[in-house]
Amino acid sequence: MVNKMSKGEFMFKELSEGPQGVINTLEQARDEVLNAKKLVEEKSLLKSFIIGSGTSFHASVFLQMLLTKFTDLHVAAIPASEFKEWTPLVRKDYFLIGYSQSGESSDIVEAVKIANDKGILSISITNTPGSTLTKISTRAIVTRAGEEKAVAATKTFDVQLAAALMLTYSLTNKDQNKIRKAAQTSEKVLQLGEKIKEIAEKYKESSNAFTLGRGLAYPIALEAALKLKEAAMIHSEGFAVREFLHGPVQLVDENTPVLLFVTSEEGLEESIKALQKIKQYNAPVIYVGPKSYKAKEYCTDFIEIEKIDDELMPIPLVKAAQLFAYHISVLRGLNPDKPTKLSKVVTY
């Protein structure tokens, strides 16, 4: 895929590099993941806070869901800036997992320092070797996405999801090679770029949007909303599907696109009542998920993705979200590489 646009060239290039970043992380970070697993098991750690900010917080939510679903660990994902207020009174079986692409974000670095002071062991997941976070954490998992120049994180989020899967699979003795399938499917999503651009063209004038997901698609809905805000300057909010009915549905109308992220037919079935409600108000629904004939009854546009295991689906799902945000941004005449009010690393 070749992009000749000057605006957004880094975001486009980097989101296109995501699948290879997942493969590189899978191949090169296994020993680091194994060391993290050994720390948890040898120290009999049972409870964890998983922290991050922005995109990294959404990765934290994904990891929380994986560990809750597949292990007997008790975990909670919270924003890094809130960790100080959540520090447990009894700490002997707690550990901290901290996500930061740069490894320099002041909120995450401060949180790990607080953990250190209180005797809480820590595992960092960062894309930057030699960063502050790798130096102050008990163990570090370094993802291999390569340098990311665009402010809006894309490929670094992909590898954060991959690291979450690697750690979960390691703790449960599952074959980590399964993660290759997620990278391969994500690569196929890139081939849908023109179709996604056509859908983006329909909604480029939208002022508001909502993104919905259930289960492991929920953190992808959160990330999709953030990408639309960062790159396309569209007011967007992400919700668990059923939670959308508890108030936010009041805001939808025929001018409000709703993106629905689905990992499986079961996830779609659990979303039907919400879709029925949304349909009453003529809001267009963009379906992102495996091919489903039932979805055609409720949705307006379709980004269909090859079905793979539920826990792997978020990696190709978010690739579709990234492409959608990128194309809307460029179509609106913006530069998604450099949002005017944002910086790559928050250090203040």
Specify the amino acid at residue 162.
A
Q: How confident is the model at residue 4 (pLDDT cuts 50, 70, 90)?
A: very low
Predicted confidence at residue 7, as pLDDT, reads 63
Q: How confident is the model at residue 154 (pLDDT cuts 50, 70, 90)?
A: very high
Classified as helix, coil or strand, 289 is strand
The CATH superfamily of 183-331 is Glucose-6-phosphate isomerase like protein; domain 1 (3.40.50.10490)
pLDDT at 89 over 80: no
* DSSP single-letter state for residue 131: -
Specify the amino acid at residue 127.
N
Collect all residues with Cβ–Cβ distance below 8 Å to 111 and sequence separation of at least 6: 51, 80, 81, 83, 84, 96, 98
Taking only the tens place, the pLDDT of each residue in 162-215 is 999 999 999 999 999 999 999 999 999 999 999 999 999 999 999 999 999 999
pLDDT at 328 over 50: yes
| Cα 254 to Cα 232: distance, rounded to the nearest angstrom | 20
Where along the chain do its domains lie?
9-180, 183-331
pLDDT at 1 over 50: no
Q: Please, are residues 256 and 300 in contact by the beta-carbon 8 Å criterion? A: no
| Alpha carbon distances (Å) from 3 to 145, 152, 194, 312, 319 | 20, 17, 12, 28, 17
The fold of the 9-180 domain, in CATH, is Rossmann fold (3.40.50)
For residue 102 the two structure tokens come to 């740069």
Extract the runs of DSSP E, i.e. beta strands, from 190-270: 208-213, 235-240, 258-261
**End-to-end C-alpha distance for the chain, whole angstroms:** 37
